[in-house]
Amino acid sequence: MGYFVGNPKIKIFIYFYSFIFMNIYIGNLSYGVKEADLTRLMEDFGAVSSVKVIKDRETGRSKGFAFCEMENDDEAKAAIEQLNGTEYSGRPLVVKEALPRN
């Protein structure tokens, strides 16, 4: 990374830009689906940065939805198109780009 030494603003921009991922909402999950299961499912489409199954704070039980971050927008869009509406663990998935919280 020595070629960035002359301009630290470029280095900072590239550093932050490299951490921008597409966040995907995965809903209508069976309560038994684990993060490792979803990671394997999503890796069929490309590099997965993280998967987080959302759980109830008091019971620790899945709430039936998760979020997945993928590094490449094209791969993430392909995953959304191909997985939305398909059956997984006996339930039709809802897969779409996650919207930021207001």
pLDDT band at 16 (very low <50, low <70, confident <90, very high): very low
**pLDDT, tens digit (0-9, with 9 covering 90-100), for 20-55:** 689 999 999 999 999 999 999 999 999 999 999 999
pLDDT at 59 exceeding the cut of 60: yes
Domains and CATH numbers, the chain: 21-97 (3.30.70.330)
pLDDT at 7: 52
Question: Taking residues 70-96, what's their average pLDDT?
Answer: 96
Q: How far is CA 89 from the centre of its chain?
A: 19
pLDDT at 100: 80
β-sheet with 22-27: strand ranges across: 48-55, 62-70, 22-27, 94-97
pLDDT at 99: 84
